[in-house]
Amino acid sequence: MTVMAPIAEPPELKRFTGPQRAAALMLALGKDHGAPIWEQLTTDEVKELSSCIAGLGRIPAPVVEHLLVQFTSEIASMSSMHGSYETTERLLAGILPAEKVKEIMEDIRGPSGRTMWDKLSNVSESVLAGALKHEYPQTVAVILSKLRPDHSARVLAELPRDFSVDVVMRMLRMETVQKEVINQVEQTLKSEFMTNLSRSQKRDPHEAMAELFNSLDRSTEEAMLNALDNKAPESAERIRALMFTFEDLGNLLPPAIAAIVRSADKRQMALALKGAPESLKTLFFGAMTERASKLLREDMAGMGPVRARDCEEAQSALVRLAKDLADRGEILLVDPKSDDAMII
């Protein structure tokens, strides 16, 4: 895929706010190209965007061109996108009857995944093996043949040795499985195993702990993680992988940084950047106008020496702001659990 080269930002763009830029982009996309986006907006969002479009007036051609190129470049640079439960439900609600939407969303509310096999690939191997060891080896062979190979391997390792060998032998001899058999296995898994799992499964405590650690000051966070390294190194590693830190902001696309800059408290942002690496400072300054960048630098210089704890608290506040903007769908966050996945 060829990514379009960025064009210089036209001076007229500065007089357009974020919502106005979004409105101009939707106006330029038109009915056919913009329809998929409109379908995913809430009623309030449609009203707000429509109001902005109604009050736009004349939009200079360079502004329209810049917005379209920026939008195209940002989409083209993504390796993948990840929707949410809420946006899926909202999209279906405009297409299907309410009862059908409810049935579908209840079906996917359990372990994440689009199909039953995606869901099973997200179930812990120990939990899945514990349930499958009571099934017929042929049934288990069918199920494991449909899962990701890496996950099937971990499940096999958890099964009793003689049972797992029997399953492997059946997988080796297995020919194309009839669609009716697959459907029957899926229905059984849905009505029994997955339903019970959804009711009993609790949130991974590591996820909750990662959110808690994100709110700690830096010194306390490091002390706690260092202590966990000694007592429970696997848990410490998992928590670190789930955390989104101030340094992770350096992986965001420029439009996301610009949105954070627009929404952030300027005093708080100055304090956060006061203790930030030079690369992050450069990234934030690059998202501002020359005048705004100069004023922020002057604010930072005028602060004099500041406590490291105050800088860390301000940085944590910027991380929370970034997450809030991502939850509202206004920016994209790089998933810290993946090298290239993008989530909205």
Q: How far apart are the C-alpha atoms of 276 and 281, rounded to whole Å?
A: 6
* Residue at 128 is within a domain: yes
Looking at 139, 171, 201, the residue that finishes a domain is: 201
- Is there a single domain that holds both residue 195 and residue 209? no
- State the DSSP H helix or E strand holding residue 56, giving kind and residue range, or none if neither: none
Based on the fold, state whether residues 237 and 258 are members of the same structural domain.
no
DSSP code string of 60-92:
-HHHHHHHHHHHHHHHHT-S-----HHHHHHHH
How far is it, in rounded angstroms, from Cα 190 to Cα 193? 6
Distance CA 38, CA 45 (A): 9
Q: What predicted TM-score, i.e. pTM, was given to this entire model? A: 0.36
User: How far is residue 115's CA from residue 187's CA, in Å, rounded to a whole number?
Assistant: 12
146 and 214 assigned to the same domain: no
Residue among 102, 99, 166, 159 nearest 134 (CA): 159
Do 141 and 165 lie in a common domain? yes
State whether 125 and 172 are in the same domain. Answer: yes
| 321 falls within a domain | yes
Amino acid at 270: A
Low-confidence ranges of the chain (pLDDT < 70): 1-7, 43-44, 73-92, 94-96, 101-122, 176-181, 183, 186-204, 214-215, 217-218, 333-344
pLDDT at site 174: 75
Domain contains 92:
no
Kindly report the CATH number assigned to the domain that includes residue 174.
1.10.220.30
Whether 213 is in a domain gets the answer yes
Q: Are residues 120 and 196 located together in one domain of the fold?
A: yes
CA-nearest of 252, 255, 226 to 239 is 226
pLDDT for 285: 92
**Structural domain harbouring 72:** 13-80
Kindly write down the DSSP assignment for every residue of 227-291, as one continuous string. Answer: HHHHH-HHHHHHHHHH---GGGGGGS-HHHHHHHHHHS-HHHHHHHHHTS-HHHHHHHHHTS-HH
Q: Hey, what are 148's tokens?
A: 């990701």
Identify the pLDDT of residue 99.
75
* Number of domains the chain is built from: 4
Gyration radius of the chain's alpha carbons: 25
Q: pLDDT per residue over 143-202, tens digit each?
A: 888 788 888 888 888 888 888 888 898 888 877 666 666 767 766 666 556 555 544 444
Looking at residue 107, its pLDDT comes to: 56
Instruction: Say whether both 142 and 190 belong to one domain.
Output: yes
Residue 41, in any domain of the structure:
yes
Q: Note the pLDDT of residue 260.
A: 92
Let me know whether 47 and 60 are in one domain.
Answer: yes
Whether residue 5 lies inside any domain: the answer is: no
Return the CATH number at 221.
Answer: 1.20.5.2020
Q: Based on the domain organization, do 313 and 259 belong to the same domain?
A: yes
Residue 180 lies in a domain: yes
Residues 226 and 271 grouped into a single domain = no
pLDDT for the residue 294: 92
In this structure, what are the phi and psi dihedrals at residue 70, rounded to the nearest 5 degrees?
-65, -45
Whether 228 and 305 map to the same domain: the answer is no
Please report the pLDDT score of residue 35 as a whole number. Answer: 77
Do both 126 and 181 map to the same domain?
Answer: yes
Of 218, 208, 241, the residue nearest 314 (C-alpha) = 218
In-domain check, residue 48: yes
